[in-house]
Structure 1
Amino acid sequence: MPAWVEVVLNVPVYQSFTYKNPAPGESLLGKRVEVRFGSRILIGFVIADREELPENFPLESSAVKPILRVVDKECLYGQNEADLSAWISSFYLCAQGEALSAMLPSGKRESSGPGFSFEDEEFADLAVSLSEEQTQAVRGILDAESGTPSYIYGLTGTGKTEVFLQAAEEILKQGKGVIYLVPEIALTHQVIEAVAKRFGKTAAVLHSGLTGSQKLTEWMRLRRGEARVAVGARSAVFAPIENLGLVIIDEEHDNSYKSGTTPRYHARQVAMHRCARAGCALVMGSATPSLEAWHQMKNGRIRTFTLTKRLSGGAPPEIKIVNLGGADGALSDELVTEIQATKEAGRQTILFLNRRGFTHFFRCNTCSYEMKCKNCSVPLTWHKAQGVMKCHYCGLQLAPPRSCPECGSLDVGYAGFGTEFIEDEVARTFPNLSVKRLDTDSLGEKGALKSVLDEFRSGKIDVLLGTQMIAKGLNFPGVRLVGIALADTGLHMPDFRAAERTFALIVQVAGRAGRFFPDGRVLIQTWNPRHPAIVHASKIDVEGFYDWELEQREELGFPPFSRLIRLVFRSKDQGKAEAAAEGAAKIMEKLLPGECELMGPSECPLAQVSGNWRHHLILRGKTLGPLLKAARSFQTGYKPLPGIHLEIDVDPAALL
């Protein structure tokens, strides 16, 4: 008779709490409950029932607070999810309640309709015949006896998605469930549609675009076994599928698989843990694997299946580097000529730039003053359509100055360019072309993304320009030309993954050209035509780039040749943030074993974000175990001063 329950809360407190069960004959494991915590009333998660109070419990039974209300009629999660949250808490150094809160849908009640429209039939017979390479890949995925993860590696358009879908079909025929992960939902809605069409009501969609109630509805369909395929972005890795047979990670290299808030988990790491526990298959895929995955593929820890043929009749595009040195404006003469030729051929153009806004930053030519955000250490971007200077980190907006705020000079201007600037230039250069911009600034209304992509697919738009929203996951037969307006955008970020990200973006964007016809053209505009990331990307030389980049990483001691844990101290008071990091470094020097290294403390490259000053220190070692032990010891004993916030990031994706 469970008279007591063990509850964890979504607060950074690293323990569970015991409350009185208001209905002692009923198990509350797997349900959310409302409890009093100090002076607050919070939602908690029951992780265990107890017939007796724990040994050495500090209170009399009469002093134990009762649960105020049980939120859920049905269990929202089971022992598997509770165990997974405990592992996340241990591995990513967060509270177990924080982990469960990130895993579970927030809705209090289910909605009347699903979050996605499905076909009526249970399965739609849409499978296409596979090439020999694809057939071998499907067989390899299903042959999981060795427990080794599989990787489907192949250039864009070589049929990775069909391999994933047919492997999923085979798993479903065995009576097991499938998790299919895609990057940010806005970028890969075509894959979502393909999964929904193929599996009908057997599929459930989990992503941030759903309301809390819709997400809860889809979650419960999976928990009850009404749906056996979970498809969605990062958090779908937690889907409550009991008899899990396969986890698919599409576009494995994508940064959005790493959470930027607590718990700072990576979906790939969580998937590996779930598959190891369930004894099921894990398959990843990309044209540009992450460097960590590539390193393991080369070392034989991940089985690799390579797809070499574009199945829809296309061929790898012809790629050319265009040196922007001395160019006036965002469109080189060569790019203008190619856009015109593409229009005359009745085909379409994609123009890519990974920067929103009109121009990059305001600059005084007299005193070199740059207009930066007062809350964040980044330049403000001019948005011409809105007539404001805007910060892309905290959202601050200011009117653009007519003279230099520092010295009063009128010799001021804007340097660099963004998607708005290019849109303006394309419209002036090609008044007869239909042009649409696709970035987060242009997508104000719900459904706007799908509407623009549908128009482009139907041929109503000649030139589609935008940020990474158009870089991957899109498959348009009419595209002949891809123009990368400025390949250098992220190349000089002070982060060890800058070259890897630049290379991947160029290769992914280039893959949009010539997917159905062997006449694709890609022009890479750059101020750094000799940079290895750009040179290798122009040849689609994946192996050559990774060899070069691995050499750099090994020499500098960065992943995959080391493991990192990052501690960030932030405060509205700059002195407090600096002092906290310095104090932590002295403690950490005593906690870290000799084979590990402490880097810092130092100011973060982005020293200020949203009014918070940020200082960090980085723990580095060959293996993660000793780093985790030291960081956990520090975390357990750390009592921050008022106004100081600590963020711990295990295996950080960026060091900005």
Structure 2
Amino acid sequence: MFNRPLDSAYTYLFDGSAEEAEGRRVIATLGRQKLTGYVIECSPEPPPSLKSDITLKQIERIVDPQPVFDSELIGMARWMAKSYICSLGEALSAMIPGGKRDKELAPALPGEDEGLRQEPISLSDEQEHAVQQILSAPRGQYYLYGITGSGKTEVFLQAAEATLKEGRGIIYLVPEISLTHQVVQVIRSRFGEQSAVLHSSLTQSQRIAQWRRILSGEARLVIGARSAIFAPLPDIGLIILDEEHESSYKSGTTPRYHARQLALYRGGVHGARVVMGSATPSVEAWHHMNKGTLRRLDLTRRLSGGAVPEIRVVNVKGSDSSLGSELREGIRATLKEGKQVILFLNRRGFGYFYHCRSCGADFSCTRCSVSLTFHKSKQKLVCHHCGYQRPVPQVCPECGSLELGYSGFGTEKVAQDVEELVPSARVLRLDTDSTRKKGVLEKGIADFRQGKIDILLGTQMVAKGLNFPGVSLVGIILADSSLHLPDFRSYEKTFSLITQVAGRAGRYSPDGRVILQTLNPAHHIIRQAAGMDLEGFYRRELDSRRELGFPPFSRIIRILVRGREPGRVWEYARRIHSGVQETMEGLNLDSWEILGPSESPIPRLNNNYRVHMLILSSRLGPLQQMLPRLLSSMKKDYSLYTEVDVDPQSML
């Protein structure tokens, strides 16, 4: 099999034995290209379906001295190919270590999560009960639902320790590399050479080395981000999915798999325990807890002396400043007490909308249908989607006016406002723009934890997973930034983000405060997040989705067609729509609906026009069988690209 959207396996000649080739990567010629292929089967005779007049090519060389996948991983790849509508070769490529990245393993980030210790610690009654329930049977599906700072990680680690004593393996998934680094050091200390790390910042040779340690049985606990779910452990007893709600568990490229679904699949194959955890479960997970499909285990109190912080909602409608009066006073008072502040805004740059104040003309990306963001430090207008940049104009090209300026604000503007408010404060901004250089993020977090920084300002990278004892005040600069995105998950994402950011305050002391600035103080999401009303949020959100027929009451397949010529994109999308409609009506299924085709919320991206459609159904099986046949039967237009995304996490 090759990493190509090709359904067929290819037959090649090999002079050696099956033991030398099966389960290995090889170099072989396909057409005029030399490609890496995956040997899934060896036979002394050619397959009966092979035509007699075909001359077989030789495998050029074997890449791996030992196998890198076995029959179980091939079985999982077949399941992925069927579930996510891709080829077996594409599925195997996602599983096997490889890629072109060549970065050194980044150092561990400071900031231990939830009171992590190098040695096991005494558990609270709630933690002890959770561990006992997880270990009460050799298999099962559990959800550890606990507020931030309630000790979820220690429960995971002690369950892992018990599983190792049973002689079984563990896969420990975390959503992002920054979180991985925080836990890795503790796991290495506790489990020594029994542990292995898999993530995308390892070089290819480092990944292969870790892969071989796992295959050989030397490493029986694997920790890593999304792709660690493919670790070739022979006998898995426990799979942990920390921060289950995070969208980074969903792959953004083919195959567009979700690690949560693969965890449940592998758990079923191995008869393992699958344990998920979060302070803000996904709406789907909450629904399954209510149904009893996931067994809910609660952690209700913080263990380090902290209390759930008070959240103050402040209306900043009509304000010109990024810092309202209450937040300004809060920052001054917190610094006077010798405590630290975290300020969060999920928007980088200085101003996100640059325009002419005379005629209203704005400045959009020439390649994408989005406005350019003003970056004052660079004196550039930048597209945050494709990277296009242009100098800041001095004259309006439409009316010749000199009255040009920006609206809105990003982290760069907030940093300027903070420095003007408290000139003596040590302020650090952490976002994609400020952390491009290697080591900046790690050093910044270390400095903040050690008290060398007074105010930490940033985007999502400062919002979750990090634990700082000195933080007393968290300021959410604008809670509305994701509230009105054209995505049915926008309320869920906003609620989760506010709750997670608020959880950074007062984790070690009862005086934590959160000031939540908003343009919509009466919005139910803002009120529910401020009141920590998780039960109310999930109840209302589930009622809304039930009425609309959205997940978890259906499954979605999103089909997106993109290309340089809008006419051809629309024509091909309409052909797919007609094919789906005709085929599904022929199957006589009641529980399905197709929405679109319509412009994607971002209609043009990097000079590609984008049209999408959504297929909703309570049963995906018929769709997963029908779509590959339909798409392969259609006359190809090689100027277009078609993306098929099962259970999409974003509609943009």
Q: TM-score, normalised by structure 2?
A: 0.95
Q: Is the 8 A contact 2:304 2:507 kept in 1?
A: yes
Matches within 5 A, 1:9-48: 9-24=2-17, 26-48=19-41
Question: Cα distance, 1:116 vs. partner?
Answer: 7.2
Question: Cα distance, 1:629 vs. partner?
Answer: 2.6
* Separation (CA, whole Å) in 2 of partners of 1:542 and 1:189: 29
* Separation (CA, whole Å) in 2 of partners of 1:144 and 1:610: 51
Root-mean-square deviation (Å): 1.9
Q: Is the 8 A contact 2:344 2:458 kept in 1?
A: yes
Secondary structure of the structure 1 residue equivalent to 2:21: coil
Question: Cα distance, 1:640 vs. partner?
Answer: 2.2
Structure 1 residues 362-409: Cα deviation after superposition (integer angstroms, max 9, x where no partner): 122333322221111221111112221111111111111123233333
* Separation (CA, whole Å) in 2 of partners of 1:117 and 1:497: 32
Q: 2:189 aligns with which of 161, 177, 197?
A: 197
* Separation (CA, whole Å) in 2 of partners of 1:371 and 1:115: 38
Matches within 5 A, 1:446-595: 446-593=438-585, 594-595=589-590
CA 1:482–1:628: 2 relative to 1, 3 Å? same
Counterpart of 1:271?
263
Question: Cα distance, 1:108 vs. partner?
Answer: 10
Secondary structure of the structure 2 residue equivalent to 1:306: strand
Secondary structure of the structure 2 residue equivalent to 1:436: strand
Counterpart of 2:645?
649
Give % identity.
Answer: 49
Q: 2:611 aligns with which of 615, 639, 649?
A: 615
* Separation (CA, whole Å) in 1 of partners of 2:125 and 2:321: 47
- 2:636 is equivalent to residue 637 of structure 1: no
Q: Is the 8 A contact 2:101 2:200 kept in 1?
A: no
Counterpart of 1:105?
97
* Separation (CA, whole Å) in 2 of partners of 1:412 and 1:530: 33
Counterpart of 1:601?
597
- 2:620 is equivalent to residue 627 of structure 1: no
Tell me which amino acid in the other structure corresponds to 2:616.
Answer: R
Q: 2:331 aligns with which of 335, 339, 357?
A: 339
Structure 1 residues 158-204: Cα deviation after superposition (integer angstroms, max 9, x where no partner): 00010001000000111111111001112453223332332222211
Question: Cα distance, 1:322 vs. partner?
Answer: 0.6
* Separation (CA, whole Å) in 2 of partners of 1:260 and 1:438: 24
Structure 1 residues 566-617: Cα deviation after superposition (integer angstroms, max 9, x where no partner): 1111101111111110111111111114421111111111111111111111
Tell me which amino acid in the other structure corresponds to 2:602.
Answer: L
Q: Is the 8 A contact 1:423 1:437 kept in 2?
A: yes
Q: Is the 8 A contact 1:352 1:465 kept in 2?
A: yes
How many positions carry a matched residue from both structures?
641
Q: 1:369 aligns with which of 357, 361, 364?
A: 361
Matches within 5 A, 1:308-457: 308-457=300-449
- 2:284 is equivalent to residue 288 of structure 1: no
Counterpart of 2:248?
256
CA 1:110–1:49: 2 relative to 1, 3 Å? farther
* Separation (CA, whole Å) in 2 of partners of 1:149 and 1:421: 46
* Separation (CA, whole Å) in 1 of partners of 2:548 and 2:375: 39
* Separation (CA, whole Å) in 1 of partners of 2:613 and 2:635: 17
* Separation (CA, whole Å) in 2 of partners of 1:545 and 1:407: 48
CA 1:520–1:125: 2 relative to 1, 3 Å? closer
Tell me which amino acid in the other structure corresponds to 1:550.
Answer: L
Counterpart of 1:49?
42
Q: 1:181 aligns with which of 160, 173, 177?
A: 173
Question: Cα distance, 1:416 vs. partner?
Answer: 1.0
Counterpart of 2:112?
none
Structure 1 residues 323-354: Cα deviation after superposition (integer angstroms, max 9, x where no partner): 01122210001001011111111110000011
Tell me which amino acid in the other structure corresponds to 1:39.
Answer: R
Q: TM-score, normalised by structure 1?
A: 0.95
Question: Cα distance, 1:110 vs. partner?
Answer: 12
Secondary structure of the structure 2 residue equivalent to 1:322: strand
- 2:259 is equivalent to residue 243 of structure 1: no
Secondary structure of the structure 2 residue equivalent to 1:378: coil
Runs of 5+ consecutive residues of structure 2 not aligned to the other structure: 110-116
Secondary structure of the structure 1 residue equivalent to 2:570: helix
* Separation (CA, whole Å) in 1 of partners of 2:99 and 2:569: 36
Tell me which amino acid in the other structure corresponds to 1:398.
Answer: R
Report which stretch shifted further, 573-582 or 402-411: 402-411
Structure 1 residues 97-140: Cα deviation after superposition (integer angstroms, max 9, x where no partner): 111111111179999x988789xxxxx96000001110111111
Secondary structure of the structure 2 residue equivalent to 1:19: coil
Q: Is the 8 A contact 1:252 1:290 kept in 2?
A: yes
* Separation (CA, whole Å) in 1 of partners of 2:127 and 2:172: 18
Secondary structure of the structure 2 residue equivalent to 1:136: helix
Structure 1 outlier segments of 4+, above 6 Å: 107-111, 113-118
Structure 1 residues 531-563: Cα deviation after superposition (integer angstroms, max 9, x where no partner): 111111101111111111111111111111111
Counterpart of 1:4?
none
CA 1:371–1:280: 2 relative to 1, 3 Å? same
Question: Cα distance, 1:642 vs. partner?
Answer: 2.3
Tell me which amino acid in the other structure corresponds to 2:382.
Answer: K
* Separation (CA, whole Å) in 2 of partners of 1:636 and 1:561: 29
CA 1:105–1:547: 2 relative to 1, 3 Å? same
Q: Is the 8 A contact 1:107 1:216 kept in 2?
A: no
Q: Is the 8 A contact 2:18 2:43 kept in 1?
A: no
Tell me which amino acid in the other structure corresponds to 1:225.
Answer: G
Counterpart of 1:121?
none
* Separation (CA, whole Å) in 1 of partners of 2:194 and 2:41: 31
Secondary structure of the structure 1 residue equivalent to 2:232: coil
* Separation (CA, whole Å) in 2 of partners of 1:415 and 1:521: 29
Question: Cα distance, 1:50 vs. partner?
Answer: 1.2
* Separation (CA, whole Å) in 1 of partners of 2:360 and 2:563: 29
* Separation (CA, whole Å) in 2 of partners of 1:361 and 1:59: 65
